[in-house]
Amino acid sequence: MNAERDLAPLAPSVVRALNDKLYEKRKVAALEIEKLVREFVAQNNTSQIKHVILILSQEFALSQHPHSRKGGLIGLAACSIALGKDSGLYLKELIEPVLTCFNDADSRLRYYACEALYNIVKVARGSVLPHFNVLFDGLSKLAADPDPNVKSGSELLDRLLKDIVTESNQFDLVGFIPLLRERIYSNNQYARQFIISWILVLESVPDINLLDYLPEILDGLFQILGDNSKEIRKMCEVALGEFLKEIKKNPSSVKFAEMANILVIHCQAADDLIQLTAMCWMREFIQLAGRVMLPYSSGILTAVLPCLSYDDRKKNIKEVANVCNQSLMKLVIPEDDEVDEAKQSVTVSAEPTSEESLSKPETVSSGESMSELDITALIQPLSFPCSSERIQVTLNLDGIVQVLDCHLHDTSIGMMTRIAVLKWLYHLYIKTPRKMFRHTDSLFPILLRTLSDESDEVILKDLEVLAEIASSPAGQTEGQGASDGSDARPSPVELHIPGRAGQLSSSGPKGLECSPSTPTMNSYFYKFMINLLKRFSSERKLLETRGAFIIR
């Protein structure tokens, strides 16, 4: 090339030195470039400054020749040093060719690119923040670089950038979140460590409210928590712990509903640390958000109920799951029996979004096992903020009963889970008898079969549920319709009989005002007794081993 014609104002000697394979000669050329650019700054000659940067970028840094690329990198760093505080006006032109060299096959070139960008960023300081995303993107790749020197260089640049972000109040968190959400799913250990380190830094800056965007990154954090590296798992634990502290301090600003489904999924993780952490978060969410969590009850129960039968090896998870279960149960109140189910909505703010609709889970057959139950069908797509306003939630009883029914049909579940399921059914019949009696015909067969359970405690709880069904005044009005409607498909262990006309005619509004535990018997009492006698007749062993116990 004709250096004097094509690359002016760079002197031919400078051009030759920039192309030299020796670092010392390239460094001398860089000093000459620095001196030249300082003169242009003094003259306020912006066109020549841009021209020099363009030459160093196009003819050197992006050249096919490796030594030329090295010369271009040191030359661009020299330009930045010469520009000083004015470098912010040319950052795009200075940064882009250097970042391109981050992808170079030559590890030495990648190292020189780190070095050049460090000098550019060190001079520009806060002016680089508008370019933060491209810098973060480049650094996240170098964090996983196989060459230790490149990795070391990128760590120096990373620390510098963190210092700049920490001391600035102009960081664009909104613009950064999409990139963070994408990068957080990296499987590379070094990239994960890089991501967590940045989350910890951003959490520590008072002016940056990362909690608002936690729903965007929570799933990725739980995935990183399962990393093979103890150091990364510990870092992730710390980050999640800091978020949980912040949630407890400011529950009114937390988007509980947007994170509920994420916790439901990770509460079922095979990894003990992930499961325990997610369960602890679920416990806090239920206690802090209260009835906001009710639309997710079916998913929560799917995750929590199996944990109640864990042995001592998973004692911690079992204990937290038990608290979740008890707290969730307390959220169901008698008023849930009076709300119009057709609304199926949650009123939180004056302007609900389209995401605030509840989708009704698909029903599954009563014989379907829990392994076949699609958890996604139980998760309610709902998004709303938690506020100090009174929150009206309509209980989605269908989804809850579906989960309880499936657990009772699953013969592999443990005794404590079966007991918990029966406690839930009893609680629902006490708190929401009218709605529950719509499900009684579908539940009745499995409740009868549960009388053959090996555990006396399970049988006692089962009898409590059956007694409540048989004595509930709600069954005097709703039980008749339910029984008639199920005659089309009788169960092999059921015997359907109509209620007495006299009983049904006498059950008016006065009857409904009785206590749910009133001894007045409805048609299900006779139905239960006949089915029980039929089971004793067909299962002699049940009569011999459990007959006296059940009757007593």
Q: What is the band of 552 on the pLDDT scale with cuts at 50, 70, 90?
A: low
**Cα gap 23→368, rounded to integer Å:** 72
Residue 538 has pLDDT above 70, yes or no: no
More confident position, 426 or 374: 426
**Residues of the chain above pLDDT 90, percent:** 66
The reported pLDDT for the residue numbered 347 is 42
Three-state secondary structure readout of 92-103: HHHHHHHHHHCC
The reported pLDDT for the residue numbered 551 is 64
Q: Mean pLDDT lowest for which of 84-98, 340-354, 470-484?
A: 340-354
Residue 329 has pLDDT above 70, yes or no: yes
- Cis, peptide link before residue 9, omega less than 30° from 0: yes
473 contacts 520 by C-beta, under 8 angstroms: yes
The reported pLDDT for the residue numbered 383 is 37
DSSP assignments along 399-435, one per residue = HHHHHHHHHHH-TTS-HHHHHHHHHHHHHHHHH-HHH
Q: Mean pLDDT lowest for which of 272-286, 327-341, 379-393?
A: 379-393
Token pair for residue 456?
């006396």
What would the mean pLDDT of 343-347 be, rounded to a whole number? Answer: 43
Among candidates 296, 273, 263, 268, which has minimal Cα distance to 224? 273
The reported pLDDT for the residue numbered 540 is 62
499 contacts 483 by C-beta, under 8 angstroms: yes
**Cα gap 294→435, rounded to integer Å:** 16
The reported pLDDT for the residue numbered 444 is 87
**Cα gap 324→330, rounded to integer Å:** 10
Task: Name the β-bridge partners of 392.
Answer: 347
Task: Name the β-bridge partners of 347.
Answer: 392
197-252 confidence digits (pLDDT tens) = 999 999 999 989 999 999 999 999 999 999 999 999 999 999 999 999 999 999 99
Q: What is the CA radius of gyration of the chain?
A: 34
Domains of the chain plus CATH, in order, are 1-168 (1.25.10.10), 172-254 (1.25.10)
**Cα gap 60→171, rounded to integer Å:** 32
420-477 confidence digits (pLDDT tens) = 999 999 999 999 999 998 999 899 889 988 888 888 899 899 989 988 988 877 766 5
Q: What is the band of 179 on the pLDDT scale with cuts at 50, 70, 90?
A: very high
- Backbone φ, ψ for residue 392 (5° rounding): -100, 120
* Average model confidence (pLDDT) across the chain: 82
What would the mean pLDDT of 105-133 be, rounded to a whole number? Answer: 96
Q: What is the dihedral of CA 404, 364, 414, 333, to 10 degrees?
A: -10
- Backbone φ, ψ for residue 545 (5° rounding): -90, -30
pTM above 0.95, yes or no: no
**Cα gap 125→167, rounded to integer Å:** 10
The DSSP symbol for 345 reads B
Which of helix, strand or coil describes residue 347? strand
Name 390's Cβ contacts closer than 8 Å, sequence gap at least 6.
none
